[in-house]
């Protein structure tokens, strides 16, 4: 243990030093004796081994790889962790202070409680072969860092540096989920800058119309989707879901003329919910609650079996009133004409006229030229 030295920080400060690999929950042995340095984070760099106490962050040890003579592996046993035996040269007399002044042994052991010893052994052997600590790096990198360049070269270089920084920022943030969560805001901002810059120069992030549409739908996000976890099962869940539907679909419904098939709804809602997927059955159950809750969006099933959601302004009374008025204004109408006039499909127009006829709002004239509807003068003029 006398070859280890205390380390100020865990920054790799030697020129040309870089990170190689890491293993958690590693204990150190002084020869055959267990030391007080247990369950720490062992890091291998090109220049040294470093051990860090997870509980006390300033308790950091390092061991230069130049002292290592050779390695051995000890397999794990029944109640024994796998170990790497590291045989060492004696240290320089002027080495920085370490935890032990003296040791009876000329070797240490690294005990791997959570395995990973094979990979570590392989990496360590490779570093010992490469002896990167012996190569002194040309000090060229320093010059760039001073960064006092003028003219086009300077501009180009500074752009390059920025790009490199962004690149490494992205790679680091996406190393694992916890890092990404930490940097989420920054990454959201970065993604937006990149997207805007590309849009400025190219017009759009992609040519693919589906991807564009997907982006659009995703941007309508529902921040706190109703889930079974948050709202339980049964009626409460369906009720809350119905409210969510009504709120989220208000604008899309208005944009698409007040009516939308249930399949479209299924797609839009699920996109807005992101990863909280809704099953078609869940959707139907929630839609059936819309009327009971008197929400402004309603479920309607056509005779053909087509199911739609529509705005409440599309309710029957309003439709009858509007249709009667339109027919009066035009003196007479066929379903084709109403379809063009109201911007709805021919089938829907016919349905509206038939509905209005049923309550006496209009009268039919059926001839070889088709079905034509007139204002109901029997009702308005005769009385």
Partner 1 sequence: MHRRGHGIGAINKKTLAQAKYKDKGTEIAADQLSQMAKQMEAFKGYLEDFASKHKDQIKKDPEFRVAFQEMCSTIGVDPLASSKGFWAEMLGVGDFYYELGVQVIEVCIATSHRNGGLIDIEELRSRLLASRGKKSQDISVDDLLRAIKKLKVLGNGFTVLPIGTTYLVQSIPGELSMDHTSVLQQAESNGFITKTELMSQLKWEDERASRALNFMVKEGLAWVDDQGKERQFWFPSFFPYLKSANNS
Contact yes or no for 42/86 (Cβ under 8 A): no
Residues touching partner 1, count (CB under 8 A): 86
Question: Nearest distance from residue 290's CB to partner 1, in Å?
Answer: 15
Residue partners of 211: CB distance under 8 A and separation at least 6: 205
Residue 11 touching partner 1 (CB under 8 A): no
Residue 166 touching partner 1 (CB under 8 A): yes
Classify residue 53 as exposed, middle or buried by CB count within 10 Å of its CB (0-12, 13-18, 19+). middle
- Residue 276 CA to residue 202 CA, distance in Å, equals 33
Greatest CA span in the chain, whole angstroms?
A: 122
Q: Which of 6, 19, 70, 174 binds partner 1 (CB under 8 A)?
A: 174
- Residue 138 CA to residue 128 CA, distance in Å, equals 21
Residue 212 touching partner 1 (CB under 8 A): yes
Quick one: which of 71, 68, 65 has its CA closest to 18? 65
Question: Nearest distance from residue 295's CB to partner 1, in Å?
Answer: 19
For 131: left if phi > 0, alpha if psi spans -120 to 50, otherwise beta; the answer is left
Q: Which of 6, 19, 70, 213 binds partner 1 (CB under 8 A)?
A: 213
Question: Nearest distance from residue 365's CB to partner 1, in Å?
Answer: 12
Q: How far is CA 218 from CA 53, 152, 269, in A?
A: 44, 41, 10
Contact yes or no for 301/290 (Cβ under 8 A): no
Residue 293 touching partner 1 (CB under 8 A): no
Q: Which of 19, 70, 302, 378 binds partner 1 (CB under 8 A)?
A: 302
Question: Nearest distance from residue 188's CB to partner 1, in Å?
Answer: 5
Residue 187 touching partner 1 (CB under 8 A): yes
Q: Which of 263, 313, 318, 380 binds partner 1 (CB under 8 A)?
A: 263
Indicate the DSSP class of residue 77: B
Question: Nearest distance from residue 12's CB to partner 1, in Å?
Answer: 25
Residue 165 touching partner 1 (CB under 8 A): no
Q: Token pair for residue 29?
A: 């042995």
The contact mask relative to partner 1 for 123-162 (x = CB under 8 A, - = no) is -----------------------------x--xx--x---
Angle between helices 280-292 and 235-255 (to 10 degrees): 90
Residue 346 touching partner 1 (CB under 8 A): yes
Q: How far is CA 52 from CA 30, 37, 181, 306, in A?
A: 16, 9, 24, 66
Residue 264 touching partner 1 (CB under 8 A): yes
Q: Which is nearer to partner 1, 113 or 183 (CB)?
A: 183
Partners of residue 291 on adjacent β-strands: none
Question: Nearest distance from residue 73's CB to partner 1, in Å?
Answer: 32
Residue 210 touching partner 1 (CB under 8 A): yes
Residue 74 touching partner 1 (CB under 8 A): no
Residue 21 touching partner 1 (CB under 8 A): no
- Residue 248 CA to residue 236 CA, distance in Å, equals 18
Residue 76 touching partner 1 (CB under 8 A): no
| Choices 25-33, 142-150, 254-262, 321-329 (CB under 8 A): range interacting with partner 1 | 254-262
């Amino acid at each position: 243990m006398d070859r280890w030295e205390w380390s100020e920080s865990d920054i790799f400060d030697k020129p040309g030093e870089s990170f190689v690999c890491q293993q958690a929950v590693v204990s150190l042995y002084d020869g055959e004796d267990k030391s007080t340095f247990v369950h720490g984070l062992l890091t291998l760099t090109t220049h040294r081994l470093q051990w860090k106490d997870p509980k006390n962050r300033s308790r950091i040890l390092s061991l230069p790889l130049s002292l290592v003579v050779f390695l051995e592996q000890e397999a794990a046993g029944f109640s024994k962790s796998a170990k790497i035996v590291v045989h060492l040269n004696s240290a320089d007399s002027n080495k920085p202070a370490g935890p032990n002044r003296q040791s009876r042994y000329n070797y240490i052991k690294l005990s791997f409680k959570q395995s990973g010893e094979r990979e570590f052994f392989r990496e360590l052997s490779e570093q010992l072969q490469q002896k990167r600590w012996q190569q002194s790096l040309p000090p060229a990198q320093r010059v760039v860092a001073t960064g006092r360049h003028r003219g086009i070269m300077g501009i180009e270089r500074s752009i390059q540096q920025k790009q490199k920084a962004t690149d490494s920022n992205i790679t680091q943030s996406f190393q694992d989920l916890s890092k990404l969560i930490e940097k989420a805001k920054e990454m959201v901002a970065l993604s937006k800058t990149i997207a805007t810059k590309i849009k400025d120069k190219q017009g759009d992030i992609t040519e693919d119309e589906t991807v564009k549409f997907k982006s659009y739908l995703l941007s309508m996000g529902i921040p706190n989707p109703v889930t079974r976890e948050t709202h339980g099962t049964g009626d409460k869940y369906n009720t809350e879901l119905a409210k969510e539907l009504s709120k989220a679909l208000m604008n899309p419904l208005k944009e698409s003329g007040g009516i939308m098939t249930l399949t479209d709804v299924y797609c839009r809602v699920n996109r807005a919910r992101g990863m909280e997927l809704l099953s078609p059955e869940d959707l139907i159950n929630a839609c059936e609650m819309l009327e009971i809750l008197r929400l402004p969006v309603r479920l309607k099933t056509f005779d053909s079996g087509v199911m739609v959601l529509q705005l409440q302004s599309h309710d029957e009374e309003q439709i009858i009133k509007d249709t009667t008025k339109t027919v009066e204004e035009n003196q007479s109408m066929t379903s084709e004409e109403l379809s063009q006039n109201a911007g709805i499909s021919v089938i829907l127009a016919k349905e509206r006229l038939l509905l209005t006829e049923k309550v006496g709002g209009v009268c039919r004239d059926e001839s070889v030229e088709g079905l034509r509807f007139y204002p109901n003068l029997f009702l308005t003029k005769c009385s």
